[in-house]
Structure 1
Amino acid sequence: MTGPTVGRVNKHVVIAGGHGKIALHLERLLSDRGDSVAGLIRNPEQASDLEANGARALVVDLENAGVDEVAEHLRGADAVVFAAGAGPGSGVERKDTVDRAAAVLLADAAIAAGVRRYVMVSAMGADEAPEGDGDDAVFSAYLRAKAAADRDVLGRRELATTIVRPGMLTDEPATGQVTVAEKTGRGSVSRSDVAAVLAAVVDDDGTAGVTFEVIGGETPIAIAVASLVN
């Protein structure tokens, strides 16, 4: 437990895909520093896991909900984070309905609720999706869905959006150090370090409009994120 961060204004942050591995790390980080955190989940049985990480669970199915329903969950938020995903084993159709359409829905709902700050967890290589067959076709569909969502959300003048594209995700312990750049090259990064990057980005509106990749590295996260400021 780190305790609230001194000298900063606490925020209310809503995370779509609130039961994902990155989201659970992020919920704990935000809660520990004094922020109010809520996570959007589809399965009410997951609520206790969010609560254990300091977040309030809000049950809503982003594949079937409307803008007004989602907007009600976002009212009063200072920022939203899209960390949802169709996940392993899902097919081409759900890559579109979750990885693209749900991200767009969250953007629509954020605008309707008057929330300007939007942080997207995207994917490295989203702008370079190859064609493929079988499993490769599903992965290509995932990258295309991510790229389409990124373009849509970045194009909203009503939103201050940052796109974060992690490298290969691991469950290794946090190091507190990363490499960030428009193009980092291939590499791995722990989910806990990605969560720490997201927490820093939520705090730094100067990264609005920036799309960047993140992998493990040797630069402290606060310094790395500060280097991205427009």
Structure 2
Amino acid sequence: MHVVVAGASGRTGRFVVEQALAAGHRVTAIVRDSGPYDRPPGVVVQRAEVVTDAELTLPADADAVISTLGKRSNQDPAPVCAAGTANLVDAMRRHGVRRLVVTSAVPVLTSGAGEPWWFRHVVRPLVRRSAPRIYDDLEAMEQIVRGGGPSVDWTIVRPGYLIDTEATDYQLVPEANGSTSVCRADLASALVAAATDPSAIGRSYGLRRGRSPQRMTARVAT
């Protein structure tokens, strides 16, 4: 599979590129024109401003797009995720690419499904209020993804607070939230796995960190 990674130079995007290569995929890394990027062997680099380029192009033989776009700060008023994802979806339509996997976040799921009561009523509302621009942007992004129509086979993954620790035997929770912090390596693995899983199309998942320091195959809760 030829996987295109948007936001490949970011802290999560770098893990996605590594995980996709490890899984045997071909990888094109989309990185900003002005940003530094140390290209891993075998990765094709495409320089583009995903957030502002309405004429964004994708490789002709791309099979899937994985997006790790995200705001760097709540102080940034620009809609990074929504605008960038809209451009990605438009580019996918033009190039005939159907599969899209995007990164969102726990506070965007307003139902609070899967959360303990203290997290639903105390922690998540506080987190959402602490960074409204970030989560409003992600919410708008999810609406764009869900509104992509029949030409877009989408999956949304919502991690909790991201940390840089060893990968674990993580768990994907369908249509619900995990209330744990999540390591970036687990998020990257989940995004890559979802891109090749037909059963994940049209679904959203919470991501729950496992206990084992040795990563196993992702388990989908039932």
- TM-score range for the pair, normalised by the shorter chain length: 0.7 to 0.9
Contact 1:15/1:80 (<8 A) preserved: yes
- 2:218 and 2:109 map into 1 onto residues whose CA distance is 26
Is 2:149 the partner of 1:159? no
Contact 2:26/2:43 (<8 A) preserved: yes
Contact 1:196/1:221 (<8 A) preserved: no
Amino acid at match of 2:156: I
Is 2:121 the partner of 1:128? no
Name the residue aligned to 1:30. Answer: 20
Is 2:33 the partner of 1:52? no
Larger helix share, 1 or 2: 1
Name the residue aligned to 1:183. Answer: 176
Matches for 1:55-134 after TM superposition, within 5 Å: 55-67=43-55, 70-71=56-57, 73-88=58-73, 90-91=75-76, 93-94=77-78, 96=79, 98-128=80-110
TM-score (norm 2): 0.82
Amino acid at match of 2:95: A
Match of 1:222 among 205, 217, 221: 217
Match of 2:7 among 14, 17, 38: 17
Name the residue aligned to 1:3. Answer: none
Q: CA deviation at 1:214?
A: 0.5
Deviations along 1:113-170, one digit per CA (max 9) or x if unpaired, are 10000001111111439999xx976711211111111111112221000000001100
- 1:122 and 1:75 map into 2 onto residues whose CA distance is 27
Amino acid at match of 2:154: T
Match of 1:147 among 139, 149, 169: 139
Q: CA deviation at 1:177?
A: 2.6
Amino acid at match of 2:73: P
Name the residue aligned to 1:204. Answer: 197
SS in 2 for 1:174: coil
TM-score (norm 1): 0.80
Q: CA deviation at 1:39?
A: 1.2
Contact 1:117/1:159 (<8 A) preserved: yes
User: Which portions of structure 1, spanning 4 or more consecutive aligned residues, are displaced by more than 4 angstroms?
Assistant: 129-132, 135-138, 218-221
Specify every segment of 5 or more residues in structure 1 that has no aligned partner in the other structure, as ranges.
1-10
Q: CA deviation at 1:61?
A: 0.8
Name the residue aligned to 1:4. Answer: none
Amino acid at match of 1:18: A
Q: CA deviation at 1:52?
A: 2.3
- 1:136 and 1:121 map into 2 onto residues whose CA distance is 16
Q: CA deviation at 1:21?
A: 1.4
Amino-acid identity (%): 27
Deviations along 1:1-28, one digit per CA (max 9) or x if unpaired, are xxxxxxxxxx101011111111111111
Distance 1:54 1:173, change over 3 A: farther
Amino acid at match of 1:114: G
Amino acid at match of 2:30: L
Specify every segment of 5 or more residues in structure 2 that has no aligned partner in the other structure, as ranges.
112-123
CA RMSD of aligned residues (A): 2.6
- Number of aligned pairs? 207
- 2:109 and 2:171 map into 1 onto residues whose CA distance is 22
- 1:138 and 1:41 map into 2 onto residues whose CA distance is 28
- 2:86 and 2:216 map into 1 onto residues whose CA distance is 28
